[in-house]
Amino acid sequence: MVTVNTTVERGGDVDLLILGSGSTAFAAATRARDLGKTAIMVEARTLGGTCVNRGCLPSKTLIEAARLVHDAAHPRYPGLTPARMAVDFPALVAQKEALIRAYRDQHYASIFDDSRGAQPIQLAYGRASFVDTHSAEVIAPDGTMRRLTGDHILIATGSAPVIPEIPGLAETPYLTSDLLTSDESAELTKLPPSLSILGGGYIALELGQLFARLGTEVTILERSGRILKDHEPEIGTALTGILRDEGISLFTRAEVRRAEGTPGDVRIIAMVRDQPREFRAARLLVAAGRRPNTAGLGLERTGVRLDERGAVVVDDELRTSVPHIWAAGDVIGHKTASQMATPVGAHDGGIAASNALAGTHRQVDHTVVPRAIFTDPQVGVVGLTDREANARGFVCQCNTIPLSVVPRAGAIHDTRGVIKMVLERESRRVLGVSIVGTGAAEVIQVAAMALRFNATADDLIDQLFVYPTMAEALKLAAISFTKDVNRLSCCAT
């Protein structure tokens, strides 16, 4: 276990005061150190922020464990006998805890001891609230109070779960995505026999499939007409069928009217496609999205402007309405076309620090941000959807092909899913790609490089792909605009 130095030197006066200690904050702090500047991070919860403690890392390790259970019971190959694996949920949680602690020590806490001859990064635990435009008051867990000041300040407080205004919800026991958190009371350590989930976004779908595969009876209630409403409709349709085939009860156009119940027995009253329905489960998970974490920061004392959703408004250099206060990561929401994603925050944190401390005036570019959803099969998306491309004035053409035409998918007996490609009609430049299928999170990286370098469908067709791989789906999607991909020989163009 690495010991973190929480003493603040120079009376708390630093070049960069950072609110938060997640990926955005660490990227900024290490950039400040590399520039020979002083930085201090203020953390209200656990070192490392959401991703390592209660988001990306814990969810992905449990999702993979659940996949092993599911695949053993459904081996796909004729000649393989299904096997029922016993699930020890507390043991799975324990390995998750060990993994998170080791990762947090190696990739976060150890950085405090890695000064490399530069100014050491400092850390203060507590809840921060602005006093003025250069200072924040920090109340430590033991109740002590201190004031920290910085020549520049970076707001990197991330995001928090959205809690919708539903009658009775405040009085009803419910879970949020914090159920995966490490070393906190919100953590779920007992596998529920049944679970109702409010929401149809990536958190609802990842966790819903995870718990269903471990043996929980899962019901998903989505208010809009389809899951993944911001994605291509073909992606949501394909994934809906896959989840239902696994036994998940998934309802769209489900408007929740009331929640009530006690621990172990929660009741949801909803209108589903204009018909009243009642859903009962042992536990309730609210997965209605995430919001920028700006409440309680005292931003009203600084003049930092927020939008109607509480996101910090920034320019393309990540500067707020106050010249020496900056913001990056989830806390800026979708400003500068950003995405709420760990790699985006880590990328932008370094840019914010460089602009603040070295005057580099570097602008962020969120044109190409690959994203993934770790359901099984996975979802991978990058660039514009059909609808977004048309809204921006592109004259485009789109095509969708099933993964059954991809040789690799047939070879591994997993042809679930589709790939959709959006092209600018005249130039045939690739504007967007969406995939649901095995390995989509890896394949979408190839598509991201294609978008970054303005590749055309012809570039993908001419590119040599390893055979057989799932990445070949990109080549086949490109070919499908001019040929019937159901009538091609292997590796043919």
* pTM, rounded to two decimals: 0.94
* pLDDT score, position 103: 87
Q: Share the mean pLDDT of the chain.
A: 93
pLDDT of 6 higher than 60: no
pLDDT of 310 higher than 70: yes
More confident residue, 48 or 416: 416
* pLDDT score, position 491: 66
pLDDT of 12 higher than 60: no
Q: pLDDT of 430-480, one tens digit each? A: 999 999 999 999 999 999 999 999 999 999 999 999 999 999 999 999 999
The CATH number of 161-289 is 3.50.50.60
Q: What percent of the chain has pLDDT over 90?
A: 86
Domains 10-48+108-160+291-358 and 161-289 share a fold: yes
Q: pLDDT of 231-271, one tens digit each? A: 999 999 999 999 999 999 999 999 999 999 998 999 999 99
The CATH number of 371-486 is 3.30.390.30
* Domain 10-48+108-160+291-358 coded CATH 3.50.50.60: yes
pLDDT of 117 higher than 60: no
pLDDT of 7 higher than 50: no
Q: CB of 352 within 8 A of CB of 312? A: no
Domain boundaries, the chain: 10-48+108-160+291-358, 161-289, 371-486
pLDDT of 49 higher than 90: no
